[in-house]
Structure 1
Amino acid sequence: MNYSKLKTLVYLSVAGFILSSCSSIDIFKENVETPVNTPYESFVIMNKEVGVNGFNSQFVDQQVQIHIEEALQNRGMSYDKLKPELVIRYTSNEDKRQREINNNYNPYPFWGYRVWNPWMYSPYGPNFNNNSRSSSSYELLQVIVDFIDPKEDKLLMTLTGVTEVSNPKHKSKKVLATTDKIISFFLDELENARK
């Protein structure tokens, strides 16, 4: 195997490891009280107007507001706090958890060891595997966004984005990625309603 093929293989392996270590973002749609049937042209973010934070961190909260506002304005909607056609309200559920990890490590190969010690890997003898347990902390993060029709005074839908945060330094990026996915999901629903 030449050097360039080996180098490519190493890069692909590292990229695969990084992608597999990133947790996914799942979106759930619920609480539909009225269908999406009008092309909403203006919106307001309730949290911004009444001064209610949806996240523990004020910095993250402001970033979410900016992301929602920019995403909708980029789609041609305008921010109107007096007579909006769409009201957006968001909150979060930030649940710290721990997961147990079993480290089943055995220094001996599975082949040939029974020749030297017949009790190893035998159903009749004790198991000498070095089973150690450890735990890792993570946060189960839910970003919950309500889309409300103020004329009907009903929910168009509630979209909940669920992901895991294992490193607090990456939390704001995870929150914004989840928010972007929620807004994208809602805008797709708007497009489908217009067809």
Structure 2
Amino acid sequence: MALSSCSSIEIFKENTELPIAKPYQTFVIINKEVGMRGFSSQFLDELVQIQLQETLEEAGMKYDSQQPDVVIRYHSNEDTRQREVVNNPNPYPFWGYRVYDPWMYNPYNSGYNRVTTSNYELLQVIVDFIDPDKDQYLMTLTGVTEVSSPKTKEKKVEKTLDAVLKSFISQNNQTQK
């Protein structure tokens, strides 16, 4: 399942040990209870905890740290990467503006292209949904996106987590029918 916006967010479902057989009404966020950070930034970690709790409560679930139906654990994988970018200064096609003699000078073959690198971060938001009675995974949902600047990271985390939670909520709601 892939959702699209400015950059794509892909959702992967993994670690399904136990199918969702009943609707889950209560949850606990284990990271919040034991003080375990899932992101390198404390601000992002708190943002994720708040968004998890608010989104699931808006979907009709209740936070219960004593007897939850589902245990939620999250973490991230923030991997810095580089990509090559080819900058071609000639925006015209081969025939372009050189109508009279197009073979005289061809910037596509002349080594005139500039290759630069750009840094980005491959961001994975990984959320485990665990049945506490059977101590097995209901599923692990991983949202993957690219972050091109630190300024956009917060928004990307929010959108990715939103996509992950929508996937879980839709699967949880299907069991109620």
Q: Under a length normalisation based on structure 2, what TM-score does the superposition of the two structures give?
A: 0.89
User: Who is 1:145 aligned against?
Assistant: 127
Q: 1:42 aligns to what?
A: 26
Q: Following the alignment from structure 1 to structure 2, what is the Cα–Cα distance between the partners of residues 163 and 109?
A: 33
| Structure 1 runs, 4 residues or longer, greater than 6 Å off | none
Give 1:76 deviation, angstroms: 1.7
1:171–1:23: structure 2 CA closer, same or farther, 3 Å change rule? same
CA distance in 2, matches of 1:120, 1:145: 55
Question: Secondary structure of 1:49's partner?
Answer: helix
Looking at structure 1, the residues matched to 162 and 121 of structure 2 have their Cα atoms a distance apart, in angstroms, of 19
Match of 1:68 in 2: 52
Rounded to whole Å, the distance in 2 between the matches of 1:77 and 1:176 is 20
CA apart distance, 1:119:
4.7
Say which one has the larger Rg. Answer: 1
Q: 2:117 aligns to what? A: 135
Q: Is the 8 A contact 1:106 1:130 kept in 2?
A: no
Over 3 Å counting, the alpha-carbon distance change for 1:158 and 1:130 in structure 2 is same
Instruction: Tell me the SS of whatever aligns to 2:113.
Output: strand
Of the candidates 163, 170, 174, which is equivalent to residue 188 of structure 1? Answer: 170
1:87 counterpart letter in structure 2: V
Structure 2 alignment gaps of length 5 or more: none
Q: What residue is the counterpart of 2:105 in the other structure?
A: 120
Q: Which residue number corresponds to residue 99 of structure 1?
A: 83
| Structure 1: tracts of 5 or more residues without a match | 1-18
- Describe the SS at the equivalent of 2:60: coil
Partner of 2:69: 85
Counterpart of 1:64 in structure 2: which amino acid?
V
How far the C-alpha of 1:107 sits from its partner, in A, is 7.5
- Which whole-Å deviations, capped at 9, do the CAs of 1:139-188 have from their partners, x for residues lacking one? 00000000000011100000000000001111011101111111110000
Q: Describe the SS at the equivalent of 1:105.
A: coil
The answer to whether the aligner puts 1:30 opposite 2:23 as a matched pair is: no
CA contact (8 A) 1:149 1:155 kept: yes
Number of matched pairs: 172
Deviations 1:67-99 (A, max 9, x none): 010111112211111111110000000001111
Partners of 2:49 and 2:88 in 1: CA distance: 45
What RMSD, in angstroms, separates the aligned Cα atoms of the two structures? 2.2
Q: CA offsets, 1:1-58, max 9 Å, x none?
A: xxxxxxxxxxxxxxxxxx97x2111100011000101121111000001111000000
Tell me the distance in 1 between the aligned counterparts of 2:92 and 2:39: 49
SS at 1:66's partner residue? helix
Give 1 or 2: higher helix fraction: 1
In structure 2, what is the equivalent of residue 13 of structure 1?
none
Q: TM-score, normalised by structure 1?
A: 0.81
